Amino acid sequence: MHRRDLEALEKIFGREHPDTLTSVSNLGSVLESQGKYDEAEAMHRQALEGKEKILGQEHPDTLTSASNLGIVLERQGKYDKAEAMHRRDLEVSEKILGREHPDTLTSVSNLGSVLESQGKYDEAEAMHRQALEGREKVLGREHPNTLTSISELGIVLERQGKYDKAEAMYRRALEGKEKVLGREHPNTLISINNLGIVLERQGKYKEAEAMHQRDLKGSEKALGREHPHTLTSVSTLGMVLSSQGKYNEAEVMYQRALEGREKVLGQEHPETLTSIYKLAALFHQQHRYSAAVALYQRAYEGYIKVLGTQHPITAECLHYYESALEHKEV
């Protein structure tokens, strides 16, 4: 539909009309959702360059395109470029819209996320706290964007091993979302999943498993068995089952997630590759080295193609692939 829309707008208005450029952005966003990052990047660059030319570097629509490009660069592990794009977006947003404008606070949040992806946790935490404080002041404590900031702060706290503080943030986000959005809203289900993960990190396996079971049941009801979030719920339930040594049950979950993602997202989508990687790790853990090697190889080749050789996940996958290969050959 977006390709059809874009083709018609180019014909009617030309390639540089604002409506055409919005259509380019929309196409870029749906390509990104499919894991087609190279094509998405090309679309967002085209939209950004066009908007800079027609609307100027400081127009709000131009800033949106700069943000979109930063996000897709981050998805590919191009963290330096993504950070530069988000810093530029933030600087201009502060200048044009002010430090407390909702769009500026979104830019702060985006910068926090890319800093977190690079392991710059102190800076990332500062950004997410700034976004949270600004959103509480401007939007209120129960606004969905404020609740998102609470979740994002929880994530960076979790990355630093501050599990108690992260758990508190996740519980606060969950309570807010249940109240404002409802118990079965997709964003509420994401918070349930986050809470389950941090509980698992602390060895609270029964409580974590209950959270993931609740998330999965809610996702199946609200979104369907093959929705991407439902498949994420299946995968994270597999993770907590594996942590308890319930390998057979975990394998069933990982296989279901993999088959669903292959069908819905495609064989080369990053989430599909994650399912392959997790299943390989499960086999590795059980000393099933031949099966692990085959899956590690498939995941590694996919990561090279989609994320590139320099992405941290690609490097991590290679490490475990080589380890399993070494044990297989002994």
- Domain of 48, in residue numbers: 1-76
CB atoms within 10 A of CB 8: 12
Q: Which of 28-37, 60-69, 158-167, 227-236 has the weakest average pLDDT?
A: 28-37
Task: Check residue 330 and give its pLDDT.
Answer: 62
> Does residue 145 form part of some domain?
no
Domain co-membership, 8 together with 64: yes
> Does residue 114 form part of some domain?
no
Domain co-membership, 291 together with 326: yes
The one-letter amino acid at 164: D
Residue where a domain terminates, one of 17, 50, 76: 76
pLDDT tens per residue across span 222-259: 989 998 889 999 999 999 999 999 999 999 999 999 99
Helix (H, G, I), strand (E, B) or coil at 87: helix
Tokens read off for 294: 């085959």
pTM above 0.95, yes or no: no
User: Which CATH number belongs to the domain containing residue 36 in this structure?
Assistant: 1.25.40
Residue where a domain terminates, one of 76, 99, 132: 76
Residue 277 in this model has a pLDDT that exceeds 70: yes
**For the residues 34-42, what does the mean pLDDT come to?**
89
Domain co-membership, 239 together with 285: no
Burial class (CB in 10 A: 0-12, 13-18, 19+), 329: exposed
Residue with tokens 């339930």, as numbered in its chain: 237
pLDDT band at residue 188 under the 50/70/90 scheme: very high
Task: Check residue 33 and give its pLDDT.
Answer: 85
Q: Tell me which residue of 276, 294, 198 sits closest to 235, measured CA to CA.
A: 276
> Does residue 298 form part of some domain?
yes
- Measured distance CA(64)–CA(93) in Å, rounded: 10
Residue 221 in this model has a pLDDT that exceeds 90: yes
User: Cα–Cα distances in Å, from 103 out to 108, 125, 150, 173?
Assistant: 9, 19, 17, 21
CB burial readout 157-177, b (16+ within 10 A) else e: bbeeebbeebbebbbbbbebb
Residue 282 in this model has a pLDDT that exceeds 70: yes
Domain co-membership, 2 together with 70: yes
Domain co-membership, 253 together with 283: no
Residue where a domain terminates, one of 22, 57, 76: 76
φ/ψ of 220, rounded to 5, equals: -60, -40
**For the residues 184-206, what does the mean pLDDT come to?**
95
DSSP 59: S
Residue 80 in this model has a pLDDT that exceeds 70: yes
Domain co-membership, 290 together with 235: no
Task: Check residue 77 and give its pLDDT.
Answer: 80
Domain co-membership, 18 together with 66: yes
More confident residue, 47 or 310: 47
**For the residues 132-144, what does the mean pLDDT come to?**
97
Is residue 43 within 8 Å of 78, Cβ to Cβ?
no
> Does residue 299 form part of some domain?
yes
- Measured distance CA(83)–CA(255) in Å, rounded: 35
> Does residue 27 form part of some domain?
yes
> Does residue 2 form part of some domain?
yes
pLDDT tens per residue across span 55-74: 999 999 999 999 999 999 99
Domain co-membership, 22 together with 49: yes
Q: How far apart are the first and last CA of the chain?
A: 53
Task: Check residue 78 and give its pLDDT.
Answer: 87
Domain total of the chain: 3
Tokens read off for 165: 């503080």
Domain co-membership, 292 together with 329: yes
**For the residues 109-114, what does the mean pLDDT come to?**
96
> Does residue 182 form part of some domain?
no
**How high is the mean pLDDT of the chain?**
94
> Does residue 48 form part of some domain?
yes
Domain co-membership, 282 together with 230: no
